[in-house]
Amino acid sequence: MPKYRIQSLIFILTTFMLGCNEYMIVGVLSDIHKDFGTSMSNLGILITAFALTYAIATPLVSILTSKFKRHQVYFGLLAVFFVGNTWTALATNYLSLMGSRILTASTAGAICSLTLTMTNFVVPQEKRAATIAWVFAGFNIASVAGVPLGTFISTNWGWHASYWLVDIIAAITISLLIFLVPRNTPQAIHKKDAANAGGVKDFMLDKRVILTVSFIMAICAAQFSFYTYIRPIITGQMGFSVSSLNLLLLILGLMAIVGNNLGGWCADNGGVKVLPRLYVIMGIFLIIAGLTMKNLAVVSFICIAIVCIFNSSYGATVQVLMMDIASKESPAALDLASSLNPVFSNVGISIGSFLAAQMLHFTTVNNIVYLSAIFAFAGFGIIFQLKRIYSK
């Protein structure tokens, strides 16, 4: 097996580890609520705080560490991530848990960015889009296996045990990365880039980049406004039994992997030109899910499953798009381009989870899907504008 394939598999394991740490909290919020007695709306702020820290810290860490070798920064960040996750596993109150999540989030985005950058360098050009799609799939695989498994462990042995599982995965991942991370990737920022006409500022002000990150925020807000409360939605609003929860979460995770494969196909077959139709359909299915949640639970769940496909279909396209813009027009912005997808994903997550938490003060959890639909239609409008630019 070629070395780049082995490296790619370990990079997928890395994003799986990051996904387990970030998303597993969705499945254990109810158990944390029972343990700490903290309200569900306040527990939702854990997700908002993680996402905001992720979004703010990622570009700062990238800038502050740009003069160091990538693999050295990578291993340092992984060590801090491991400490943060261990702290989560040991947390005994809400403030301690919040602190641990903030520490972990401060490194997770930069780890993801470096993983994508290294993937871009080690994989042959003709396999880049598909491989990047699979590296992103690590997050979806975390939804398939990590979130249901974490929920099962939390239900039977306590939510702390779920994060001890993440520690085991992290230890294995870091051990493999020590041997397989490339040590010779060219640094993106050199003195000659300072004179490059398309520098970092021009990259960030590029209309295509602005529309792309706005689209990412809208779709992630659409997802996490409802997914933050997916457990009470499935068991409390749709009426499915707690015993069926892990199976249903597994199905949603599998749909996310289907969406990831669809995203790889989109990236290779038109990119932004084929995405708009997906997100108008996504908004429609969210509305149907809300209308049928109380009386037609199976129909509502099928709609949510379809939504999970579309939630995962944009990643490869927008990642390749931004890295291509940086590589061709603004080489100094390449590392930054690698980080924008995870950064603005978490901005969107923070917006969606925060607004959903605020909605719970005056409405029931089943109505959150209508907020998600608003974000989905906004995403459609934005990606349609981007399509028009690339269609000229």
For the stretch 137-162, pLDDT in tens is 787 778 667 777 888 888 889 999 99
- What pLDDT score does 86 carry? 96
Q: What tokens were used for 362?
A: 């005056």
For the stretch 162-192, pLDDT in tens is 999 999 999 999 999 998 888 776 654 444 4
- What pLDDT score does 381 carry? 94
- What pLDDT score does 191 carry? 46
- What pLDDT score does 162 carry? 92
More confident residue, 225 or 260: 225
- As a three-state string, the secondary structure of 259-277 is HHHHHHHHHHCCHHHCCHH
Whether the per-residue pLDDT at 220 is higher than 50: the answer is yes
- With beta carbons less than 8 A apart as the criterion, state whether 188 and 67 touch: no
User: What pLDDT band is residue 238 in, cutting at 50, 70 and 90?
Assistant: very high
DSSP 197: T
Q: What tokens were used for 49?
A: 């705080």
Residues whose CB falls within 8 Å of the CB of residue 37, separated by 6 or more in sequence, listed in order: none
Q: How far is CA 257 from CA 33, 141, 261, 272, in A?
A: 30, 7, 6, 20
Whether the per-residue pLDDT at 101 is higher than 50: the answer is yes
Q: What tokens were used for 223?
A: 């997802």
Mean pLDDT of the chain: 85
Q: What is the amino acid identity at position 129? A: A
Share of the chain above pLDDT 90, in %: 33
- What pLDDT score does 222 carry? 93
More confident residue, 62 or 352: 352
Q: What tokens were used for 320?
A: 């390749």
More confident residue, 390 or 281: 281
For the stretch 18-61, pLDDT in tens is 989 988 887 788 889 888 888 877 887 888 888 889 888 888 88
- What pLDDT score does 195 carry? 44
- What pLDDT score does 335 carry? 67
- What pLDDT score does 366 carry? 87
Whether the per-residue pLDDT at 384 is higher than 90: the answer is yes
- The gap between the terminal CA atoms of the chain, to the nearest Å, is 42
Give the separation between CA 188 and CA 327, rounded to whole angstroms.
Answer: 9
CB neighbourhood size of 322 (10 A)? 25
Whether the per-residue pLDDT at 352 is higher than 80: the answer is yes
- With beta carbons less than 8 A apart as the criterion, state whether 271 and 318 touch: no
For the stretch 197-211, pLDDT in tens is 446 777 888 888 899
More confident residue, 183 or 304: 304
Q: Please give the CATH architecture assigned to the domain spanning 3-391.
A: Up-down Bundle (1.20)
**Torsion from C-alpha of 54, 57, 60, 61, nearest 10 degrees:** -90
User: What pLDDT band is residue 213 in, cutting at 50, 70 and 90?
Assistant: very high
Lowest-confidence region among 68-72, 222-226, 238-242: 68-72
Residue found by looking up tokens 């520490």 in the block = 103
- What pLDDT score does 261 carry? 79
For the stretch 50-88, pLDDT in tens is 888 988 888 888 778 877 888 888 999 999 999 999 999
Whether the per-residue pLDDT at 336 is higher than 80: the answer is no
More confident residue, 43 or 355: 355
